[in-house]
Amino acid sequence: MTDTNITLAMMTEGWQTYQRELSEALAPLSTEQLALRAAPHLRSIGELARHMIAARAGWYHDVLHEGDDAFDALSYWNSPGSPIRSASEIVNGLALTWQVMQEALARYTPTDLQVVFEYELNGQTHKYTRGWVVWHVIEHDLHHGGEISYSLGMHGLQAPDI
């Protein structure tokens, strides 16, 4: 195994632990608790989790072409008018996105991480390496997972044990 593959494997293992801790914190929440916010103008705990799921599916499906149509459907969980999800649905969405991402990460070689993908958004073409997309989804998870942790803690609920 190359140094790059070892590093990616270690990051994936840490990311999986982070996901597990986040899922365990979200699983017991009621609909009312998922609706809690750190401030009135910020996303609720449930909205943050749905946003994470949608971003994972969007980047991995739309840009990296991973997963099937059912996986792609998760990318719409953050769309205006999308239904509110229960804690079990959110935990399942995290698990489903993680499964697709983990399978992809296990396949990627150092050369794969350098491949450039083009993605059109709002009439503009953007170029991303696969490695950048992987990093971006990690940083996105960490950012919004931190918001979830903060929101849980400020409302006296158990935050992820990280």
Mean pLDDT over residues 5-24, rounded? 88
What are the b/e assignments for 48-78, b being 16+ CB within 10 Å? Answer: bbbbbbbbbbbbbbbbbebbeeebeebbebb
Mean pLDDT over residues 1-10, rounded? 70
Query: How do the domains of the chain map onto residue ranges?
Result: 3-154
Separation CA 10–CA 58 (nearest Å):
24
Band the pLDDT of 6: cuts 50, 70, 90: confident
Helix, strand, coil percentages (3-state) for the chain, rounded to 5, are: 65, 10, 25
Look over the chain and give the mean of its residue pLDDT values, rounded to a whole number.
94
Assigned fold of 3-154: Four Helix Bundle (Hemerythrin (Met), subunit A) (1.20.120)
Separation CA 104–CA 94 (nearest Å):
15
